[in-house]
Amino acid sequence: MVKILANDGISKSGIEALEEKGFEVITEKVNQEDLISTINSENYEVLLVRSATTARKELIDACPNLKIIGRGGVGMDNIDVEYAKEKGLEVYNTPAASSSSVAELVFSHLFGMVRFLYESNRQMPLEGDTNFKDLKKAYAGGKELAGKTLGIIGFGKIGQEVAKRAIGLGMNVLTHDKFTTEASITLSFFNGDKKTFTIETTSLENVLEGSDFVTLHIPKTGEKAVIGAEEIGLMKTGAGIINTARGGVIDEDALMFALDKGKLEYAALDVFTNEPNPSMYLMMHNSISLTPHIGAATLEAQDRIGAELADKIITFFNK
């Protein structure tokens, strides 16, 4: 019997699909420092992770019976992917399963930003009963998203899902991607109608200069942030930026400086440079909308992730 350690969990549908095919699935969390010894002593052949557990060279070398490392999600910066493949392991992720969930979180933050929900939700419990009129005045300068321009940096599956929602709201869309020059995206409507748009990508500079809001959907590569002080300097004064991709893609110090100086009006972060201990300065900043890395954390996405991983594992062992 093939044993699977889903160290960061897996959906019930994924477990059921695997167990129906005779796999044993263990979801009890193993501490990172005990992971190698546990995998070897329990003879696990499959390790499934999300963002909390890492699978580095040391683990790959020390666990010769491991055949598959699966990542429930898109980014695989917590896995030494190329090294694992060199050693003959299969490495899977689920790039499509959580795209809609992440895209919807982007717009949760966008709506909250332009109507100051992130801040008013903090202040209403404190002052709503004694300072209602002043709070109403403070948050009265909201904006509509319709007619604004959304810049999407990274135009893969998630970026394209974001574009669909932006178009549906009547926003203009600018996109940048290192590997894609254009993409066709199809909007499906409640009555069965469909409409396809072909969107051409442009330079990073054009996106930054032309957008009212910028959303990031790119991996973290290297030590340097993709969006630092220089890139923020290209953005419109009063613009907003959202990061639901990876911590470190934005220089957090440069971001807070830009907010404090009025260069940027809004920011939203679902991911942080120092997870799971993000900067308290960020946490307390009045102009940042915050969530604790929940982009893919919907019931629907987790079901799709579990089912997709299960299907890939079943296919591998039945080949």
User: For helices 99-114 and 117-127, what crossing angle results, to 10°?
Assistant: 60
Residue 153 tokens, joined: 């940096």
Rounded to the nearest 5 degrees, what angle is found at the Cα of 270, between the Cα atoms of 264 and 276? 120
Q: How many CB atoms lie within 10 A of CB 113?
A: 25
Residue 293 among the catalytic residues: yes
Q: Point out which residues pair with 184 in neighbouring strands.
A: 198
| Gap between the Cα atoms of 209 and 204, Å rounded | 9
Closest CA to 94 of 8, 200, 196: 8
Residue 176 among the catalytic residues: no
Catalytic residue among 50, 109, 246, 304: 246
Task: Report CA-CA distances (Å) from 212 to 34, 146, 173, 265.
Answer: 47, 11, 10, 10
Catalytic residue among 217, 293, 304, 308: 293
Residue type, position 215, single letter: T
Residue 308 among the catalytic residues: no
**Residues 73 and 33 sit within 8 Å (Cβ to Cβ):** no
**Residues 2 and 21 sit within 8 Å (Cβ to Cβ):** no
Compute φ and ψ for 245, nearest 5 degrees: -95, -80
According to DSSP, the β-strands at 68-71 and 90-92 are parallel
Residues labelled as active-site residues = 246, 275, 293
